[in-house]
Structure 1
Amino acid sequence: MEKTLAATVQQADHARQNEKRVAYATIIGTTIEWYDYFIYAAIAGMVFNQIFFQPAGAGMATLLAFASVGISFLFRPLGAFLAGHFGDKLGRRAMLVATLVLMGGSTALIGLLPTYANIGVLAPVMLILLRILQGISAGGEWGGAVLMAVEHAPTGKRGRFGAFPQLGVPLGLLLSSAMLALMTGVVSPGEAFMEWGWRVPFLFSIALLFIGHWIRSSVDESPVFEEIKERKSASKTPIAQLFKHHAATVLLAALVFSGTTAVGYMTTGGFIQNYTTDPAGLLRMERTPVLLVVTFSALVWLTFTWLSGCWSDKFGRRNMYIVGFLVQIIGVAALFWLVNMGSIWTVLLALVLLSVGVGLTYGVQSVFASELFPASIRFSGVSISYALGSIFGGAFSPMIAAYLIGKTGSTVAVTLYLGAMTVLALLAALTLRDRSNIPLGPDHEAEQNRSPLWWKS
């Protein structure tokens, strides 16, 4: 009796320790991934337009810099297909480690690149190739992190656990913005930042890579995948099965994601940073205060991402999306009205309002997607839906915004564009049923295979 009790206590203690490791692995890993990604996006509009694309002329160089941010999104589906295929066949944990190494290595190499002045056109070509590798990594990373978190979660706490990998995005934005504020304001202000200071945040990724690899390698494999492996029920062709039976769900989930990414990439894609600090623009604000404001807005995004995941366990995933998108519309409407006042305080207010709505929609994203797809093809479904949503929404939203302002001379068109993306995402969310707490294991594939589309029984 005593041995049985001791064994039970030991198992419970192991489970609690593993839950902590899962939380750390998903939060820290995704934070590092998105730090790498956002460092590029932020520096592209401030630096790369001048040192890699400058022969194209001021306006076109900025568009090309933002296009280099967006081009990586076109390769996210490739990363999602590869990670989804092998994640459904070989396991979630291996993909988490592989994508982290690919992202960290690519980021560090960007920090070592020679510029256009050194080697000519080869410099932007090499930059874009490394950006493509970042896109492949990002396309595969999210699905693995999400499933490790959600599939380890106790019943009734999936929303909370699903928020762990989501926290990596605002944390990555916070870390990257704080690093840039430090470099532009203290370590390498002015011309020193343009000459060498911009390289340091990329090279810092090497240290983060070792930390993330150590943590992710220590976590247990997803219990759902362990069951699949024991039963030898892994799908031989997960992607083919996904598109044969769940193509409409993939498309609608991608549209839901696109509403959050299009708006979120106004800061994570570097557009607001460039718009407010561009020496040739209307506002011409100082870089460091703007970066500090973005850092603070990332804290707001972080807070509401966590609250959204936790609240979804109580109020449902779909309801959180509805509330989040309605709040996001308010933030979109106020964004440029406040930013164009030209005060750092109105920029702060604008980004805080925007971050509340984005956080509310982003926090529920991972658990919502995980509950849409059957266990045997879940990695593929989650990863590909997210990758496509990133293309529909975030991929070129900074470039589209820059183009619309250049074409119209006003930010009104950008507000309409972001508003339309938010409304489209809200409508897509309304077409999908709430499947909160549906069993996730392979024993319940019949129930998981029932369509989540509201017009199907």
Structure 2
Amino acid sequence: MTKGYGAEKGQDVNLREVSKVTAGAMIGSVIDWYDFFLSSLVAAVVWPSLYFGFLKGTAALAVSASTYIITYLTRPVGAFIFGEYGDKLGRKTTLVLTLLIGGIAIFGIAFTPGYGVLGVLAPSLIILFRLLFGVAMGGEYGGAQTWVTEFLGKSRRRGFWNGLVYSSNPVGILLSSLAFVVPFTVLGPKVFISYGWRYPFIAGGFLIIIGIIMRYKLEESPLFKKLRQSGNVAKRPSLDVFREFGWKMVPLCFLNAGPIAIALIELNGPYGIAIMRAAGLTLPQVFEVIIIASLVAIGVVIGSSTLSDYIGRKRTYLIGSAISVIVAYPAILLLKAGFPYTIAGALLSTLLFISNSVLAPLYTEQFPTKYRYSGSGISYQVSSAVGSIIGGIVPSYVIAGSHGLLAAIPSLGFLVVIASIISLVSGFPLKETFRSELRE
């Protein structure tokens, strides 16, 4: 056993094992956000004409964006299903399964022909694979963060380690940016839109295969092994957690609404990309904005998560949520102002990662081991679904009613402010847990 960062007050932490499990957890987060940004790009640039060409103008964009966003609506289903298995069979086994199903979905997207070949079956298959990917990734967050948290036990540095996992989100965005830019530059716009966009999805599928191999070789959570040996594994954890915690879970189901809405509308979702394009930015400029924002976001995540180990999860979350309420509207106005003001808008939007960076310990520390995968996963994914409705589904109607994307900017800005306020208010009832030992 090796003492180091994360080991204090006489507790031995095997930093080598924790580091390996953290890397195994990070690969799922990288894949999730790799797909998040890559799909948002093709939903804004490629899919409207390839799969929804039978629609006209902004209607094609709106439907294409909605197709991308529906993954968030199936994530709570995935959290329920995989939470059940994760709390009964183990974190490691279940997390291998989530990647396996995610791989099937991402390869399916890569090889689905366009509307001109399959007709209405083409967009139907894209929707099916997006739904399947959403189910798979719905089981990722709660399981991966639970896995890491339970290797740290009584450690007072759980925020830092969970923050490392979450910092892989911007890494996924950076990788997907490169995976998009290279074939786009080499093949040219016409060839890329025709078939070149499929290569990044194929690359994502192989990344998932690497993740499966990594996870298969890692150890099961020590706290779960202890729970299983004691015979106290819950019979129906995804249902029992509601019976035991009930209304206490309600605030948790809104914490991520604001950050998701901001990400979809302002940062690297399909609407944010479409806004930048409508404001006159070239695709290389869009990538420049996203890459700069992603690099800054990595620092924001690690810094904020580490801070939560000293001042608390709740306090850090409330500070971040309050900042999001303040900057959400100015950020979207800067996005439409054109380059280089767009960079300032994107940088303001990265401040959402202050609150996001502490969500993992906030969720996982609220539940005992026998419900931790289910409780944290379901709560997080329900809150993400709320954010996707506000920041993904509603904007499609706002844009259609405003007769154009840029004309809808004030209304879209109002939506992200509302979502941010919802998240801020939801943080006040939470119990502070950063000085508490994990509940067994």
TM range (shorter): over 0.9
Q: 2:282 aligns with which of 286, 300, 307?
A: 286
Q: Which amino acid aligns with 2:20?
A: R
Mapped to 2, the partners of 1:264 and 1:83 lie a distance apart of 25
Equivalent position SS for 1:431: coil
Q: Is the 8 A contact 1:335 1:350 kept in 2?
A: yes
Cα deviation for residue 441 of structure 1 reads: 4.4
The correspondence of residues 167-206 of structure 1 with structure 2, limited to 5 A, is: 167-184=167-184, 186-206=185-205
Q: Is the 8 A contact 1:69 1:395 kept in 2?
A: no
Q: Which amino acid aligns with 2:424?
A: L
Mapped to 2, the partners of 1:219 and 1:263 lie a distance apart of 35
Name 2:347's counterpart in structure 1: 352
Q: State yes or no: 1:433 paired with 2:416.
A: no
Mapped to 1, the partners of 2:15 and 2:430 lie a distance apart of 33
Cα deviation for residue 207 of structure 1 reads: 2.3
1:314-365 per-position Cα deviation (integer Å, ceiling 9, x unaligned): 010011011111221233122122122222x11111101110x211011101
Name 2:149's counterpart in structure 1: 150
Q: Is the 8 A contact 2:328 2:417 kept in 1?
A: yes
Name 2:8's counterpart in structure 1: none
Equivalent position SS for 2:255: helix
Cα deviation for residue 28 of structure 1 reads: 2.3
Mapped to 2, the partners of 1:376 and 1:419 lie a distance apart of 36
Q: Is the 8 A contact 1:93 1:221 kept in 2?
A: yes
Identity of aligned residues (%): 27
Mapped to 2, the partners of 1:35 and 1:346 lie a distance apart of 25
Name 1:6's counterpart in structure 2: none
Mapped to 1, the partners of 2:408 and 2:388 lie a distance apart of 21
Name 1:389's counterpart in structure 2: 383
State how many pairs are aligned: 424
Name 1:107's counterpart in structure 2: 106
| TM-score normalized with structure 2 length | 0.92
Q: Is the 8 A contact 2:43 2:68 kept in 1?
A: yes
Q: 1:379 aligns with which of 367, 373, 389?
A: 373
Cα deviation for residue 215 of structure 1 reads: 1.5
1:19-54 per-position Cα deviation (integer Å, ceiling 9, x unaligned): 110121112232123213432222111110111011
Name 2:294's counterpart in structure 1: 298
Name 1:226's counterpart in structure 2: 225
Cα deviation for residue 206 of structure 1 reads: 2.8
Name 1:52's counterpart in structure 2: 51
Name 1:445's counterpart in structure 2: none
Name 1:42's counterpart in structure 2: 41
1:155-176 per-position Cα deviation (integer Å, ceiling 9, x unaligned): 1111011113212322112211
Name 1:270's counterpart in structure 2: 270
1:251-301 per-position Cα deviation (integer Å, ceiling 9, x unaligned): 211111212211122334221112222xxx4x2321121022112211112
Cα deviation for residue 438 of structure 1 reads: 2.2
Q: Is the 8 A contact 2:58 2:399 kept in 1?
A: no
Mapped to 2, the partners of 1:14 and 1:429 lie a distance apart of 31
Q: Which amino acid aligns with 2:84?
A: H
Mapped to 2, the partners of 1:251 and 1:190 lie a distance apart of 46
Equivalent position SS for 1:204: helix
Name 2:6's counterpart in structure 1: none
- After superposition, the Cα gap between the structure-2 partners of 1:14 and 1:430, relative to the gap in structure 1 and judged at 3 Å, is closer
Equivalent position SS for 1:192: helix
Root mean square deviation, CA, Å: 1.8
Equivalent position SS for 1:20: helix
Equivalent position SS for 1:55: coil
Q: Which moved more, 1:422-431 or 1:211-220?
A: 211-220
Name 1:241's counterpart in structure 2: 240
Q: Is the 8 A contact 1:256 1:389 kept in 2?
A: yes
Name 1:404's counterpart in structure 2: 398
Name 1:321's counterpart in structure 2: 317
Q: Which moved more, 1:54-63 or 1:174-183?
A: 174-183
Cα deviation for residue 396 of structure 1 reads: 5.6
- After superposition, the Cα gap between the structure-2 partners of 1:359 and 1:305, relative to the gap in structure 1 and judged at 3 Å, is same
Mapped to 2, the partners of 1:274 and 1:21 lie a distance apart of 38
Q: Is the 8 A contact 2:26 2:165 kept in 1?
A: yes
Q: Is the 8 A contact 2:28 2:140 kept in 1?
A: no
Equivalent position SS for 2:276: helix
Q: 2:413 aligns with which of 388, 412, 415?
A: 415
Q: Is the 8 A contact 1:293 1:348 kept in 2?
A: yes
Mapped to 2, the partners of 1:404 and 1:195 lie a distance apart of 30
Q: Which amino acid aligns with 1:295?
A: I
Q: Which amino acid aligns with 2:377?
A: S
Equivalent position SS for 1:299: helix
Cα deviation for residue 395 of structure 1 reads: 4.6
Name 2:3's counterpart in structure 1: none
Q: Is the 8 A contact 2:255 2:380 kept in 1?
A: no
Structure 2: 5+ residue stretches without partners? 1-10
Q: Is the 8 A contact 1:180 1:291 kept in 2?
A: no
Mapped to 2, the partners of 1:165 and 1:17 lie a distance apart of 15
- After superposition, the Cα gap between the structure-2 partners of 1:410 and 1:38, relative to the gap in structure 1 and judged at 3 Å, is closer
Mapped to 2, the partners of 1:61 and 1:315 lie a distance apart of 47
Equivalent position SS for 1:214: helix
Q: Is the 8 A contact 1:321 1:364 kept in 2?
A: yes
Q: Is the 8 A contact 2:63 2:396 kept in 1?
A: no
Name 2:133's counterpart in structure 1: 134
Q: Is the 8 A contact 1:158 1:313 kept in 2?
A: yes
Name 1:454's counterpart in structure 2: none
Q: Which amino acid aligns with 1:397?
A: G
Q: Which moved more, 1:166-175 or 1:77-86?
A: 166-175
Q: Is the 8 A contact 1:316 1:436 kept in 2?
A: yes
Q: Which amino acid aligns with 1:333?
A: Y
Mapped to 2, the partners of 1:168 and 1:425 lie a distance apart of 23
Q: Which amino acid aligns with 1:349?
A: A
Q: State yes or no: 1:164 paired with 2:158.
A: no
Q: State yes or no: 1:93 paired with 2:92.
A: yes
Cα deviation for residue 402 of structure 1 reads: 4.1
1:350-399 per-position Cα deviation (integer Å, ceiling 9, x unaligned): 101110x2110111010010111122111110111011011100256134
- After superposition, the Cα gap between the structure-2 partners of 1:14 and 1:339, relative to the gap in structure 1 and judged at 3 Å, is closer
Q: Which moved more, 1:30-39 or 1:65-74?
A: 30-39
| TM-score normalized with structure 1 length | 0.89
Equivalent position SS for 1:54: coil
Mapped to 2, the partners of 1:120 and 1:396 lie a distance apart of 31
